[in-house]
Structure 1
Amino acid sequence: GIEGHASEPAVLSPRELECLQWIAEGKTAWECAVILCLSQHTVRCYLESARHKLHATSNTHAVSIAHRAGLLFDPL
């Protein structure tokens, strides 16, 4: 079916996906930073980039889009 106007699925970097995955698990940007051994600023940059690529208005929206697109893993 025809959904949205994106002809190509968004291509997110492994780090962007990793950050989104943790946000999907209910973690904050600060918690993501601790888990991934990154600075909070870096995590926020990854999330902003992911939101931009997914045309999302928020992290929650980005998680939803990525999940529907099959980009995220289901929690174990």
Structure 2
Amino acid sequence: MSRRDSPNAVERRLRRIAGRHGLNLLKPQKLDAQIERHGGYMLRDEETAKIVFGDKEYRFSADIDEIEAYLAALDAAGKA
């Protein structure tokens, strides 16, 4: 795995992309068993503080790949 693909690097890149859309990438301060099995992230609107993605069945339910796909869809919609 290259440094570019490390979990921290991916997270930083997604934080920058989220910021361009007025969103914050959030991680839980404390992990519970459910979050550790699947998930660990949410996206929050900067202005309203409303969670826009990652709280479907429980808080921090989105994994990093789902966050990346959501942000890619926002990018694609913005360019259409």
Instruction: Give 1 or 2: higher helix fraction.
Output: 1
Shared fold per TM-score greater than 0.5:
no
- Report the TM range for the smaller structure's normalisation: 0.3 to 0.5
Higher Rg of the two aligned structures: 2
